Structure formats: C-alpha cells, structure tokens
C-alpha cells in the first residue's frame, strides 16, 4: 500500500513533526489553510474515523485538544478549527484530524478552504517549533 501518511510515520518522507506520541503523530500540512495547520494521524493505518479502534478514541481527541491549545499558546491564534473528513474530501485515505489556527476575520468561510504556502522549509520549521514549544510542559528554571 502506498500511503503518504504511513511513509511520514515511518520516517521515509520528511515532515515538520509537532507531536510524536506512541499512537499518534502530528505534523504540519504542506498546503495549510493557514500557517500552523497541523494534521494529526494514528501511527497505524486507519482509513477513516469509522475504522478507528475504540481504544484510540480518547487518545486521538486528547491529542487534538492539546494541538488546538498549542495553536493559541504557540501561534497567537484566537482559536482553532478542528475537522475530520471521511471519504468525501479526504485527500489521503488515512484518518487525519485537521487542527487549523483561526483568528477572527481571517477570511475562512464555510467549507471553502483556501490554501497558502510556507515561504521556505525554514519558515515551516519555525511554525513547527512554536507549536512544539507550546505543547511542551513548562520547565522550572
């Protein structure tokens, strides 16, 4: 099976990883709706949300919740848009949760998702680092 997300999970394709946990991996979308747009995937191949084993439900939601908080804390977003497509509009047939940073007046309307690009790999790495920093627990100095 040729699954781009499985290849990212395996380390065969590069990605700006922001969350690396036992069952899940989060990385920046290469064609973000807004910069800082994260895709959260289960490490094991699962086609859709309907196929997700029940024992992964809470972990997936918990990881998405932490990423949504990181969009606010790390990127200065006012909130986030969290979404899952099942088959229709699912560009990669591997379950993925979109966590998109949002700001009032950002221009996102309904289900039309305009896409943007990072200026460089350095810029995407900087956005990833900001999200990672917001996910990491504070360490007392």
Give pLDDT, residue 140: 47
Dump pLDDT digits (tens) for 91-122: 899 999 999 999 998 888 766 666 788 899 99
Assess if residue 140 is contained within a domain.
Answer: no
Give the range of the structural domain holding residue 44, as residue numbers without chain letter: 4-134
- Residue of 24, 26, 18 lying closest to 53 (CA atoms): 24
Assess if residue 62 is contained within a domain.
Answer: yes
Cβ(100)–Cβ(10) below 8 Å? no
Give pLDDT, residue 88: 80
Number of domains the chain contains: 1
Give pLDDT, residue 113: 61
- First-residue to last-residue Cα distance in the chain: 47
Alpha-carbon torsion angle 25, 26, 30, 34, nearest 10: 170
Cβ(135)–Cβ(18) below 8 Å? yes
Give pLDDT, residue 134: 86
**Domain CATH for 77:** 3.30.428.10
Cβ(28)–Cβ(36) below 8 Å? yes
Cβ(67)–Cβ(99) below 8 Å? yes
Assess if residue 87 is contained within a domain.
Answer: yes
> To which residue do tokens 């922001």 refer?
18
Assess if residue 75 is contained within a domain.
Answer: yes
Assess if residue 41 is contained within a domain.
Answer: yes
Give pLDDT, residue 141: 41
Q: Extract the residue ranges of the chain whose pLDDT is less than 70.
A: 1, 110-114, 137-141
Assess if residue 139 is contained within a domain.
Answer: no
Q: Phi and psi for 104 in degrees, rounded to 5?
A: -55, 130
Q: 19 in helix, strand or coil?
A: strand
């Amino acid at each position: 099976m040729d699954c781009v997300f499985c290849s990212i999970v395996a380390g065969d394709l590069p990605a700006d990883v922001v969350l690396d946990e036992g069952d899940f991996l989060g990385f920046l979308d290469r064609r973000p709706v807004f910069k800082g747009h994260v895709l959260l995937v289960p490490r094991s191949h699962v086609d859709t949300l309907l196929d997700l084993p029940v024992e992964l439900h809470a972990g997936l939601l918990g990881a998405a919740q932490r990423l949504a908080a990181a969009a606010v804390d790390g990127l200065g977003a006012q909130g986030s848009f969290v979404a899952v497509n099942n088959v229709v509009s699912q560009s990669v047939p591997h379950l993925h949760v979109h966590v998109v940073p949002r700001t009032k007046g950002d221009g996102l309307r309904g289900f039309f998702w305009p896409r943007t690009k990072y200026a460089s790999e350095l810029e995407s790495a900087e956005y990833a680092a900001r999200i990672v920093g917001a996910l990491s627990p504070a360490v007392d100095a």
